[in-house]
Amino acid sequence: MRIEYHRTLIADHVRNQAFHDALSRVIKTGETVVADIGAGTGLIGLMAAKLGAREVILYEAAEVAGVAAATIKANRARACHLMPCHSTEMEDPPRVDVVVSETLGNYAFEENIIDTLADARKRHLKDGGVIIPARIRQFVAPVISDRIHRELIVWNDVGFGLDLSVARQMSLNNVYVRSLTPDELLDGGRGAKVWDTVTLGSDTRASRKGEASFKVETDETVYGFAYWWNAELIEGVTLSTAPDAPRTHWEQLYFPLEKPMALAAGESVLVTLRSRSSEEAGTHLAWTAVHFDRDGASKAKQAMDLDKGWIP
C-alpha cells in the first residue's frame, strides 16, 4: 500500500480532532491502557500516549506497520507497543480500558469494523471498558440532480450506430464515491433518513438491511440515492460524512437507478439497501427502489446489485 493513502488520513484534521477529543474524555493520565486497532502509521495511538495513557498497544497487519514502528521510535513513545498482526489473530491479548479503531470507509463497514470490534469487546476489552467509535448510523436520501446520472449514461452518446446498453447497465449497477451538495438532494437533504444503526462491539451482524420511504410534495425526478454515515465516537463527540458536515477525506456514496423515477406530487419512493462484508469476500451491496402512486399502489420497481456491475 502506498503512503499516499495514509497521507490523506493524516491530512484529515476533522477526523483527527474528533478522535483526539474522544480520547481526551476517556483517558486518565497514568492509568488508562488503550488498544489502537488498525493503527496505520500510528497517529491515533500516539495521540493516546500524548494524552497520558499508561500503555498503548497498536495493532497493524499491513506493510505500513513498519512506518508505525519507525514513527513510534522517532517520537520516543515508550508507552507504545506495536503488534504487527490483526487484533483478531492475537492469542490471549492483554485486556485494555479503551479500544479505538478508525477502520471506517466511504461505506462505513467495508473494512470489517463490525467483526473487529465484536472480537475486541469479547477478548481485548476489560469489563466496563470503552469502545471508540460507539455507534454508527447510516443515512440515505434521494438524489434529484441528474449530474452523476448523465456521467454514467455516456454510453448512450458514443454514436457510430453502436448499442452499448450492456455496458451502460453495468455502470448503473455500481456504487460511486462522489461529493454531493445539499441542493442535489430531495428537500436539501433535510429529510434524509436512518436506514441502519449499529452499536459497535455489541452488534455482530456483518450483513445489514434497511429501508426508507420518501414522499414528494412537488413533482420530482429521482436519479439515485446518496449515502453517508454518522459515527458517535463517544457521547458528545461525533464524526459525519454528510454533504453539509465539515469536510473529511471520506465522501458520500451514490447508488444509481437504471431509469430515473419521475414522481408526481404526493407519490413516494421506497428504497431498500442491503450489504454484506467479510475479510474473505469484501463488501457486497444491493439496493431496490419502488415507486408508489398517491394511493400506495406500486408503479415501478428497480433492483440493482453490484454483482451485475462486475465484468465476468
Q: Enumerate the active-site residues.
A: 102, 111
DSSP for 23-45? HHHHPPTTT-EEEEES-TTSHHH
* Whole-number CA gyration radius for the chain: 22
Note whether 174 and 224 are within 8 A (CB).
Answer: no
- Residue 9 phi/psi, 5-degree rounding, is -70, -45
- Residue 35 C-beta-side C-alpha neighbours within 13 Å: 27
Nearest to 101 by CA among 119, 113, 89, 118: 113
Helices (H) and strands (E) in the chain, counts: 7, 15
Can you tell me the distance from the alpha carbon of 12 to that of 231, in angstroms, rounded to the nearest whole number?
Answer: 16
